[in-house]
C-alpha cells in the first residue's frame, strides 16, 4: 500500500461521489489517523488513482464527548436482546419522549422500520447516501458497503455507530451513548457518556423544534438498553 501511495503522490483528490462509489463496491480502504490538534500538515494528502485509500481522522467517527470523568445517574429500562436491541431502545426512547407507550408488537415493527430506513438511505439511494458520508465511513472501515447492505436486511442485524449517525440526522433526534461507570472504573453505579450524535437537534432552529435526547446504555457485550 505504501508503495502505491508513493507512486500516486500529487494526484488530484477524488470527488466525494467517486469515494462513495468505491466504498460501495468495496474498493476503498481506510487509514485512521489520530487528530493532530488541528495543526496543518506539511505533507499533502496522497490520493491513489486506482485503489483509493481514504484517510479518515478519528474525530469524524461520531461525536465523542470526551467526558469520561462525568458520571450521571438514570434508571435502566431493559431491552430484549434479539439482535435489534439498539433499534428497540431507540424507538422506545423516542416514544417515551412523546408520552407514547409501545406494545411489544409495535416496538418490533418500529425497530425494523428504523433498520430498513437506514438501508434505504445508505444502500438504495446514491444521492441520499452522499448526505451521510460519516455513516458510510463507519460502515466501510470493516466491510464493503455492499456486504453491509446485505446484512442490514436481516432482523437480527446489530446496529452500531453508522446506524446512529444516520438515524440521529434522519429522525432529527439527539442520541447520547453511555457505558456503566463500573465498566470504566471498576466500581460505581452511575453511567458515563462516551458518544453523542445529533446534538444540534436538542436546540430550536428555523428548521426544527428541539428534541429531548434519547439516552442509550451500551453494556460492552454488544447490547443496548434504555436510560430514563
The catalytic residue positions are 82, 85, 223
Residue 168 is placed in which grid cell? 440521529
Label the pairing between strands 214-218 and 191-197.
unpaired
Cα separation of 173 and 51, whole Å?
36
112 burial (CB, 10 Å; 0-12 / 13-18 / 19+) is middle
Report CA 124 to chain centroid distance, whole Å: 18
Reading the block at residue 21, the C-alpha cell is 462509489
**Measuring CA to CA, which residue among 35, 95, 22 is closest to residue 66?**
35
For residue 195, the cross-strand partners are 177
Residue 114 CA to residue 118 CA, distance in Å, equals 6
Q: State the Cα–Cα distance between residues 81 and 85, nearest whole angstrom.
A: 5
Amino acid at each position: 500500500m505504501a508503495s502505491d501511495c508513493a507512486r500516486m503522490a500529487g494526484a488530484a483528490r477524488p470527488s466525494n461521489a467517486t469515494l462513495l462509489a468505491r466504498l460501495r463496491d468495496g474498493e476503498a480502504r481506510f487509514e485512521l489517523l489520530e487528530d493532530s490538534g488541528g495543526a496543518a500538515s506539511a505533507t499533502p494528502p496522497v490520493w491513489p488513482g486506482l485503489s483509493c485509500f481514504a484517510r479518515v481522522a478519528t474525530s469524524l467517527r461520531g461525536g465523542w464527548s470526551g467526558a469520561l470523568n462525568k458520571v450521571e445517574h438514570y434508571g435502566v429500562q431493559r431491552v430484549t436482546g434479539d439482535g435489534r436491541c439498539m433499534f428497540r431502545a431507540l424507538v422506545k426512547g423516542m416514544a417515551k419522549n412523546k408520552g407514547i407507550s409501545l406494545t411489544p408488537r409495535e416496538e418490533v415493527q418500529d425497530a425494523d422500520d428504523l433498520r430498513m430506513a437506514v438501508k434505504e438511505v445508505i444502500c438504495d439511494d446514491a444521492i441520499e447516501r452522499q448526505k451521510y458520508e460519516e455513516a458510510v465511513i463507519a460502515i466501510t472501515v470493516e466491510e464493503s458497503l455492499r456486504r453491509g447492505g446485505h446484512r442490514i436486511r436481516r432482523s437480527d442485524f446489530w446496529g452500531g455507530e453508522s446506524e446512529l449517525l444516520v438515524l440521529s440526522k434522519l429522525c432529527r433526534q439527539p442520541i447520547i451513548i453511555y457505558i456503566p461507570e463500573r465498566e470504566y472504573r471498576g466500581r460505581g453505579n452511575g453511567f458515563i457518556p462516551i458518544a453523542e450524535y445529533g446534538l444540534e437537534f436538542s436546540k430550536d432552529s428555523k428548521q426544527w423544534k428541539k428534541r429531548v435526547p434519547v439516552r442509550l446504555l451500551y453494556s460492552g457485550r454488544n447490547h443496548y438498553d434504555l436510560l430514563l
